[in-house]
Each structure stands twice: as C-alpha cells, then as structure tokens.
Amino acid sequence: MYYSVSGRYRLIEMGIELPTGQVFGDLGLLAPDNLRTQTIECVEDGDVLTATYQQVKELYFQNPQFGFFFLRLTSERLFDNIKRLEQEIVRKNEVIAELGGKPA
C-alpha cells in the first residue's frame, strides 16, 4: 500500500489522476493472491511512503481507528468502481443505440 507525499500519479486503466496525500494500492492487499487491481503511472516525480501487507495487518489489529479507516477506504473504493462501471455500461449502451444496435 502506498501514500503519495508529493508528485503526480495516474491510474492508467481509469485515467484518474490521484491527488497528493492519496492512499493507493489498498485493494491489492485484499485481493486474492494480493494481486494489484490497477496500474499506477508516475506523471511527475515525487515521493511515496509504503506499507507492506504485514505492516497494514499489524496496524489493523493494533489500532481500531486505523482498522475502521482501512475498511471505509477499501469499501468506498469498491463502491466508486461499481458506480464508474455502471456509468460506462450506460454510456456504451447509448452509443450502441445511436448506431442502431441492441443494448446489452
């Protein structure tokens, strides 16, 4: 998991630029086999802080406030991703309809 201290970073698959002070890589800690879910690109040189799975796990159990923050962070990210995908489906269905096709 990472925390951006400075610089500019972008999630390639979503085309989203992350603001400074953003946590990223959190979903990869919860994913099966701890595989990453997105690709991050450094757009402008900067610094990031890192936390290993073991460190996050220790913080989770030692500090209930961090544990709740982590649960909220990852849940919010998942709900945002679902919303973004639903919007993309609507957009693609509109394009298909304009072309005279049948929406999915």
Query: What pLDDT digit, counting tens, does each position of 39-70 carry?
Result: 999 999 999 999 999 999 999 999 999 999 99
Residue span of the structural domain in which 80 resides: 2-98
Could you tell me if residue 58 is inside a domain? yes
Is 70 part of any domain? yes
The answer to whether residues 28 and 34 touch, using CB atoms and an 8 Å cutoff, is yes
Q: How many domains does the chain fold into?
A: 1
Q: Is residue 11 part of a domain?
A: yes
| CB distance 17 to 8 below 8 Å | yes
Kindly report the backbone phi and psi dihedral angles of residue 97, in degrees, each rounded to the nearest multiple of 5, phi listed first: -65, -40
Averaged pLDDT for residues 16-41: 88
Considering only CA atoms, which of 49, 48, 38, 51 is closest in space to residue 8? 48
**pTM, entire model:** 0.72
In a domain, 104, yes or no: no
CB atoms within 10 A of CB 42: 12
